[in-house]
Structure formats: structure tokens, C-alpha cells
Amino acid sequence: MEENTNSHNDSIQTDTADAFGFSFGSSNKPKPIIKSVVGRNDYFYNMAHKKRGLAIIFNHQSFIVPYLKDRMGTNVDCEQLKMCLKKLDFEVHVYNDLGVKDLLDKVEKVSSEDHSDHDCVVLAILTHGEEGLLFAKDGAYKHDQVFDNFRGDRCPTLVGKPKIFFIQACQGSRLDAGIGVYTEMDSSVSCYKIPIYADFLVVYSTIPGFYSWRNTTNGSWFIQALTAELKESGTLYDLLTILTFVCRRVAIDFESRVPDNSTMDKQKQIPCVTSMLTRLIKFSPKSDNINNSVEDIQQTVMKNE
């Protein structure tokens, strides 16, 4: 009999980990099986829950950390983002200039709420930052201290739902001078496990190690571009497509103006989109925001009879 040296049955295959990959921190084994709100092979997330969900904005303008300057223009960002998220049917809450403890307590409280009737959750943080760190009014905290609260084993009512984070902050002090370009144009029921960090979408205003720009009158480049694209096509395209247009807008339409500082003048920026999504997100309009619900109509008819 011929020996099959390639048989999968005759060898034990194991997987090993590559060190120094993208990390949100370590975790223990996931908790027991949780019912998913989407089918295994669905292309889109289920956005037909009773409510769109919570959108939390942490807006930081003033700091008591000595070397951090006031972030003039951030209130413009906050108002524009708040308007866009409300238009997309989110329940928006804004928190201004919180300290580290209050901010992290608020994040933990949001993650521990019952999101069963929600499509997703959004957290936006508008602040100063360094690579790996974000600043509250009185000090710094790690990104993981926010993200970890929404892991699948810690926030079961958001399992299988998008967890969306918008981070407007520097990630370092490096500058991007850009490069010149030109264009030439021609005319069944199944049980399966998912990672506890599945369904996260983290969007940074800039790539790791680089500066993030903000206009003191009009707000940050990233939030200007994000809100402009959400206004134009927030319900038309899936969110990753929209974010691609955001990156294009920031990359092409913006350039720093600091004429009295040649090092900082005429610099560029590109946002960084880190997706652990397993399906597409589309913010289709909620029907109950267009017309009265069927129950309300029935009650009105009954009263008039």
C-alpha cells in the first residue's frame, strides 16, 4: 500500500501567534454562548432594531495638564458631529472636559447598559493625544481602557453589533509634507464562535506617530471631513465606503497654513481606519422617524371612532 505522506489525518496542525501585532490588550476565555442578532452569512449588520443606539461625545477644550493648550475649534467639531449623529437617529450625549476617572466611569456605565434594542454604539473622543495615549482634563489614559469595556464578553447586548469609535487626537509629533501628483484620464441555524473584539471599528484622525491638524475657527480637518460626508451620504453608502471618502477629502482638500513656521506650514494628514467589522454598516433611515408607528396610528383611529 502506498503511504500518503500528505494526509491531514496523520499529522497534527497547530496555529501559533505572531508577536507585536495590533492589540487591544489580553483577555481570558470568552463567556458562554450568546445569541447573535445577525445570521452567520449576512452581508449587512442588523440595523432594524427599535433604536439606532447611543452616541457619546467626549469633548475636550480645556486642560489642567500644564503643557496642554486649549483646543480652540473643538466646540465647532462637537456641534457638527452632534447634528450629524442625531440626523442618523442616534441618541447623542455630550460630555465636556471630564477628568480621567469621570470619563472612564462614564464609559463603563455606557457599556453596562442594556443595548438589546439598539443597532450599535458610537463613541467619539475629541482631545489631545500621543501615540497610545489620550488626554482627559487632568491626565492621560490608554485607548484600551475605553475599548476593553465593549468586548463581547463584557458587553453581551452589543455582541454581533457594531462598536464605532471616532478618535480626533494627535498620535505623535511627526509631520507629513505630502508628495505632488498629477492625473491623466481617458474619456440555517448554526452555532459558531466569534472573537471578543469582533465588530469594532476604530477611526483615528491620523496614523500612529503623526500630528493631527485642527483649525481654530472651523474645527479639525478630520471632523470637518467626517461630518461633511455623513451629511452628503450618511444613509446612501455603507460606513467603510463613507470613511474612504473621508480619507480622500482630508488627504486632498486640506493643507496646513502656518506661514510664520516653515516646518509646520503646508503639511498634510491622512486618517487611519482600523476595522474589525465582520459585515457592512448602513444607516438606513429609521421608519418611525419618517412616519408615526403603526401602534400610534391605530390608537389615533380608535380615539376618533
Which is catalytic among the residues 78, 120, 155, 170?
170
Local structure of residue 210 (DSSP, 8 states): B
Domain ranges across the chain: 54-304
pLDDT of residue 232: 96
CA dihedral 233, 57, 139, 144 (to 10 degrees): -70
190 band by pLDDT with thresholds 50, 70 and 90: very low
CATH second-level architecture of 54-304?
3-Layer(aba) Sandwich (3.40)
Report yes or no: 95 and 59 within 8 Å, Cβ to Cβ.
yes
Residue closest to 160 by CA, chosen among 46, 281, 62: 46
Spatial CA neighbour of 249 closest among 235, 230, 236: 230
Is the C-alpha dihedral spanning 277, 279, 280, 283 positive or negative? Answer: negative
Question: What whole-number percentage of the chain has pLDDT above 90?
Answer: 62
- Report which of residues 132 and 96 the model is more confident about: 96
What is the pLDDT of the chain when averaged over all its residues?
83
At position 202, the amino acid (one-letter code) is V
pLDDT exceeds 60 at position 26? no
Q: Report the C-alpha gap between 96 and 126 in whole angstroms.
A: 10
The pLDDT value recorded for residue 192 is 46
Q: Which residues contact 283 (CB under 8 A, 6 or more apart)?
A: 47, 52, 88, 89, 234, 235, 239
> Which of the following is catalytic: 60, 115, 118, 128?
128
Q: How confident is the model at residue 19 (pLDDT cuts 50, 70, 90)?
A: very low
Listed as own residue / partner, the contacts of 21-25 with beta carbons closer than 8 Å and 24 or more positions apart are 22/274, 24/143, 24/144, 24/147, 24/148, 24/151, 24/197, 24/200, 25/144, 25/147, 25/148
- Place 96 in a pLDDT band, splitting at 50, 70 and 90: very high
Residue 64 has pLDDT above 90, yes or no: yes
- Is residue 46 predicted with pLDDT exceeding 90? yes
pTM of the complete model beyond 0.75? yes
Which residue in 136, 215, 139, 130 sits closest to 172, CA to CA?
Answer: 130
- Taking residues 174-198, what's their average pLDDT? 57
Cα 34 from Cα 21, distance rounded (Å): 27
Q: Are strands 129-130 and 133-136 parallel, antiparallel or unpaired?
A: antiparallel
Q: State yes or no: is 128 an active-site residue.
A: yes
pLDDT at 39 over 90: no
